[in-house]
Amino acid sequence: MPAKNTSPHPVDLHVGTQLKSRRTILGMSQHKLAEIVDITFQQIQKYERGANRISASRLFQISRALDVPISYFFDNFGDNSFNKKILACSMSDNDQELYQGEDNPDGDDLINNRETLKLLKQYYSIKDPKIRNDIYTMVRNMASTLKDS
């Protein structure tokens, strides 16, 4: 009998990372999310690390608490080199056939970067969508100008 693989599955790691990112962007503590979905904050920690899998019904509750569709937790799965490295080590041959991710050319997982999360949290703390759009337009224009120079 083959030895049981005790490392988290890449999907569980990705879902946990997405959970933590969204919770952080909203400025919600693990305690608060746990209270909303009626579990312990330690369970939230395990979900975020990928140590425990999230059942479909629990994922539904969490998606409602974080105001995202369930698909959010699977968005961009396999789109960075981190996932590719994990997949190469832990996926079965059949799972690898389904995997079709692309490396990020910069090698960075920008959405899970602490600076990105802090910026997004502040951006979404601005309640007026027009002001948020104006900020987005300004940043896009600045980036375009800097790229061209």
Give yes or no: residues 51 and 81 share one domain. yes
Q: Which pLDDT score is estimated for 58? A: 97
Phi, psi of 3, deg, nearest 5? -70, 145
Total domains present in the chain: 2
Q: Count CA within 13 A, CB hemisphere, residue 78.
A: 11
Same domain, 141 and 80: no
**Mean pLDDT for all residues in the chain:** 79
Q: Provide DSSP, 3-49.
A: PPP-SPPHHHHHHHHHHHHHHHHTT--HHHHHHHHTS-HHHHHHHHH
Task: State whether 72 and 119 are in the same domain.
Answer: no
Q: Residue 128 belongs to what domain range?
A: 114-149
95 pLDDT more than 80: no
pLDDT tens by residue, 14-51: 999 999 989 988 889 999 999 999 999 999 999 999 99
Is 69 in the same domain as 15?
A: yes
> pLDDT digits over 65-91, tens only?
999 999 999 988 876 544 444 444 444
Is 28 within the bounds of a domain? Answer: yes
Q: Does one domain contain both 31 and 55?
A: yes
pTM of the model: 0.60
Whole-angstrom Cα Rg for the chain: 18
Q: Does a structural domain hold residue 14?
A: yes
Does one domain contain both 71 and 123? no
CA distances from 119 to 9, 47, 97, 130 (A): 29, 24, 36, 17
Asked whether residue 145 falls in the same domain as residue 73, the answer is no
Which burial class, exposed, middle or buried, applies to 147 when counting CB atoms under 10 A from its CB (0-12, 13-18, 19+)? Answer: exposed
Report whether 5 contacts 90 (CB < 8 A): yes
